[in-house]
Every structure is written in structure tokens, then in C-alpha cells.
Amino acid sequence: MGVTVEFFGIARERAGRPDLEVCCGIESTRLGDVLLEVAERLPVLAGECLSGEHPQVGFLVNINAHRFLADPDALVHAGDHVLLMSADAGG
């Protein structure tokens, strides 16, 4: 089991898919490492949506639909859902 990264708004449009499982086989990891793996596996998101270990300006990261994070050192655990969305994603 890994971490499921879900894409919303512009991030989903650019990724061309709703989600991606990363960090498989790891019990926990840093949020920054999750974002780095996403950018590596979906290079189309690097630059516009992601900047290294951080979301680009205008993008937000949410963990399990409960809390927004920007700290790349925050821990993310296997089974968690990391939501990457443009700040205007709305519902």
C-alpha cells in the first residue's frame, strides 16, 4: 500500500488522470518526497503545479480531506490521500 495522490482542477487536467499511487511499500514518508515522486512520474506537473518539494503558488495540498499543509517535512502515512488542487478548484 502506498499514498494516493488525487488531482483536482488544473492539476487533474494536466495530469490527464484522477490519481496516482506513490511511495508504495513505505509505512510513512515526508510530504516533500511524495511531491517529488509525483513530479518525477508525471513531469507535466513539474513547473506549473509543483516546484520541487512544494506546490506552486496557486496550488494547495490537503491530507485526507482534513488539513491543508505546505511543510515538506510533514509526515504522510501509507493509506493516506494527498489532494493536489488549484486554489480555484471549488466544488
pTM of the predicted model over 0.85 = yes
Tens-place pLDDT, residues 46-71? 989 999 999 999 999 999 999 999 89
Tens-place pLDDT, residues 2-51? 999 999 999 999 999 999 999 888 899 999 999 999 999 999 999 899 99
- Predicted pLDDT of residue 78: 96
Per DSSP, 46 falls in state B
* pLDDT tier, 91 (very low <50, low <70, confident <90, very high otherwise): low
Calpha distance 78→85 (Å, rounded) = 20
* Domains of the chain, earliest start first: 3-86 (3.10.20.30)
Q: Copy the grid coordinates of residue 68.
A: 491543508
Type of residue at 57: V
